[in-house]
Structure formats: C-alpha cells, structure tokens
Amino acid sequence: MVFASLVAGAKRLALGTGGATPMLDLFPKTDPAVDGDECSHDCESCHIKYPRGFKIETEDALYGVQKGFSTHLLVATGKTDWVREIEDEEGSVMEAIGKAAARSNGKGVVVTLYELTEGDTSIGTEFHGMDPDLLLKALQVLAKRGKAQVFGQDDSLGVKFF
C-alpha cells in the first residue's frame, strides 16, 4: 500500500502531472448538517491559547508551498509540537498508516523489477505494466529514503524493501 502510493507520487513527479490539491478540496468549510452540531464552526476559530511570552509565526501558509518530493500527507493534530515519529502518536491517522505499512507484504523480500511490472502477483496493482525506467526512478527515491535497496545489473535489477 505504501509502496504503491510512493510509486504513484514518483510517477506524478516524473511526468510533471498533479500538483497541490486546492486547500478547500482537502478541508471544506464545515456544515452542521454533515459535521454535526459539535462542529458548527470552522477550524480557524478553534485554536490553542499560548502564553504571552511564547512567540510563534502562525500566519504563514504551509500547505502548497512545499516542493514536491513524492507523497506528502498532511495530518492535523491540534498540537504545536512535533513528535519524532508521527506514527508514534497514539490514536492518530498516521499511527494507522504506519501499522498498515508494517503489515504489508514484501518487506525484506528480494523481487525483480520484472516481477513488479510484469509478474502474476503485480496484476491489478498500480505498477503492473509500468515503464521499468519510471519504476527504477521511484525505487531510487525509496532507496535515498532508506526504504529500499536496488541492486543487480541493468538487465536484471532487483529490489529489497525495508
């Protein structure tokens, strides 16, 4: 699941398609009929009060100004501090994504690029039939992030996922 998402992100990056989703598409205005009465106001009015001596810039927009890398996931936590690993934030969306990634098949197993793009187990996946050069670029991104290791020779490349 995570690998397919990273491959899709690298594919969009390599092809120059995509871009930042408009903010209102990600975070639509609240509607009491949909969101319930408990959430009858927009998040702009919900904020944490800081001590007077605590100065923090809150006006700069963060969304849509980050240079594309592969796949970004923006998760609102309502907190002002960063945890070292967002997957460790108990009860968070990222904890669920991290657990799903940990359960995914293929970790520690060596597979060839051919298996990923043409193999029987790749049928129905996002990377079945993908251009091997594009897949290699995506795998190189994963290797730089420490998520995979690419090895072999040009005609028989393999990859191991961590």
For the stretch 43-100, pLDDT in tens is: 555 666 667 787 777 777 766 666 655 555 666 666 766 666 666 777 665 565 555 4
Sheet architecture: strand order including 156-161: 110-112, 156-161, 148-153
Q: Where residue 147 falls among pLDDT bands split at 50, 70, 90? A: confident
CATH for the stretch 110-161 = 1.10.10.10
Q: Dump pLDDT digits (tens) for 98-125.
A: 554 454 555 566 778 888 788 877 777 7
- Find out whether 7 and 133 touch, Cβ atoms under 8 Å: no
Domain range list for the chain: 15-103, 110-161
Tokens for 7?
Answer: 């491959």
Cβ contact 12:18 at 8 Å: yes
- CA–CA distance, 82 with 84 (Å, rounded to integer): 6
